[in-house]
Amino acid sequence: MQGILYVSHGSRIPAATTEAISCITSVQERVDVPLQEICFLELTDPTVEQGIDTLVSRGASRIAIVPVLLLSAGHYFNDIPEEVNRAKAKHSHIAFTYGEPLGMQDRFIDVLAERIKETKVPPKPDAKLLLVGRGSRNPQTRKVIENIGQKLRERTNFSSVDVCFLAACNPPFEQTLQSTLKEECSQVFIVPYLWFTGVLVNFIKAKVTEASKLNKEIVLCTQLGNHPTMRAALKERVYESFDEKGSFTQWQ
């Protein structure tokens, strides 16, 4: 019997866990598979191992691992496969397949543009936009975020869009924000390319609060969040994860 294990990042921030579970639960209700579980890589229970154990105890003979991640980085290439391969030692009779992160999709640009409009702050002609990515050591991460920044500039009325990162990539968000505040622009829009709230979103908020003391209008947009487009994209990844081509053999 087919089982599905949604693997989210996990957070010490309760609101982040709530937002992730709400989004995933909405997708579960639209997927016609009776055996579905949610787990987390760190900081939150159940763990990946516990999620797999639960599915096996419920009768799953095949388990599709669905990474609830935006981009392919360390969690996708290393952490999740390590967890699943450990579980395979206990459940050698179970067939595992592995889905893909959501990746970069043009429809996500529309979500970002919508988040900007939701602020109800009209951008001024000299407004600057900072697209903030999480960052990773994967060299593709920077290229993807830069591509998103270019598409977002084309999709909106901003003449200036810079990208920056919260970890592992340059330029760092905090440094970029400080440099931007010294420029002539009267407005700075900050757009997080993050799926759910959590420590990183709170970090951005704290830096914006500090910077708001200066004579510059700073507009912080909401993360991608539990948006219908994100749910639709995750549902597609769920069904794709059933494909035998996504076998875990390649990760061993």
Classify 234 as helix, strand or coil. helix
Each residue's pLDDT tens digit, 14-38: 999 999 999 999 999 999 999 999 9
Q: Is the dihedral of CA 77, 52, 38, 10 positive or negative?
A: negative
Domain 106-220 has CATH 3.40.50.1400: yes
Task: Give how far Cα 57 sits from Cα of 87, 94, 110, 177, Å.
Answer: 13, 12, 41, 50
pLDDT of 64 higher than 50: yes
pTM of this structure: 0.94
Residues 130-168 pLDDT 10s: 999 999 988 899 999 999 999 999 999 898 999 999 998
Mean pLDDT of the chain: 94
Domain with CATH 3.40.50.1400 in the chain: 2-102+227-251, 106-220
Specify the pLDDT at position 139: 86
Q: What angle do CA 6, 220, 113 make, to 5 degrees?
A: 70
* Residue 102 CB neighbour total at 10 angstroms: 20
Whether the predicted pLDDT of 69 surpasses 80: yes
Instruction: Report pLDDT for 14.
Output: 95
Task: Give the end-to-end CA distance of the chain in Å, rounded to a whole number.
Answer: 24
pLDDT band for 243, please (50, 70, 90 cuts).
confident
pLDDT band at 195 (very low <50, low <70, confident <90, very high): very high
Burial class (CB in 10 A: 0-12, 13-18, 19+), 14: exposed
DSSP string, 55-110: HHHTT-SEEEEEE--SS-SHIIIIIHHHHHHHHHHH-TT-EEEE-------HHHHH
The CATH class for the domain spanning 2-102+227-251 reads: alpha beta
Amino acid 249: pLDDT: 47
Contact 68, 26 (CB under 8 A): no
Q: Residue 138's pLDDT is what? A: 87
Distance CA 224, CA 120 (A): 17
Structure token pair of residue 85: 């391969």
CA 30 from centroid of its chain's CA atoms: 20
Q: Which of 83, 115, 73 is nearest to 7 (CA)?
A: 83
If pLDDT is split at 50, 70 and 90, which confidence band does 212 have? confident
Tell whether omega for the bond before 67 is within 30 degrees of 0, i.e. cis.
Answer: no
